[in-house]
Amino acid sequence: MNRAQRRANHRKATAPAPSQNTWAAVIAASQPTQPSVADESLTRLHAAFDDLRAGSTDDELFDRLASAINVGMVRAEQIDELCVPPMLAARDALIRCDAIRGKHGRYGFDGPGLQAMATGLEVYEEILRNSSPQQMTEALHHAMTRMRRQVAEEISRQPSPLPLSLNA
């Protein structure tokens, strides 16, 4: 047995066996979202919307709804321009909802905001039901990158504090 054959045998013996879960997971991730998974996610989102509409103070509910709208907006941009305006209107409604929280200590929506959120959630439902888990995960990563970039831009626009004098 020559050196090349010994090395090939060694690689075969030490190489990890291919995992059946790997290919199965890839195929499953590229299938449309399972109806039960979509139903559970949408139930939680609608419950969050109902609680915020009723004047909740729970920041987690706001974050859940905002995250879904942001991910939906990314997917809407990938799908078609017609899907984007309802998601933008829902985002604007959430911004106003957060402003209401700042003024009154409780979340709430104005009239146009209620309608915009209802429509945004309908669009999100269609996007979720017709997207694969892989597409939704990629949209989530893209939305997170976009939010980090926005935060970095806001920080860079703030005036820097004046240096403290050592002779004071």
Per-residue model confidence (pLDDT) at position 19: 57
Say how far apart CA 133 and CA 29 lie, in whole Å: 5
CB 107 within 8 A of CB 4: no
Q: What is the pTM of this model?
A: 0.76
Amino acid at position 24, single letter = A
Per-residue model confidence (pLDDT) at position 32: 82
b/e map 74-84, b = 16+ CB within 10 Å: bbbeebeeebe
Per-residue model confidence (pLDDT) at position 139: 94
- For 76-137, the DSSP string reads HHHH-GGGHHHHHHHHHHHHHHHHHHHHHSS----HHHHHHHHHHHHHHHHHHHHS-HHHHH
Say how far apart CA 83 and CA 86 lie, in whole Å: 6
Q: Could you tell me the two tokens for 31?
A: 């299938």
Per-residue model confidence (pLDDT) at position 52: 95
Per-residue model confidence (pLDDT) at position 44: 96
Ranges of residues in the chain with a pLDDT under 70 are 1, 4, 6, 8-21, 25-26, 29, 160-168
Per-residue model confidence (pLDDT) at position 20: 55
Q: Residue ranges of the domains in the chain?
A: 33-149
End-to-end CA distance of the chain: 81
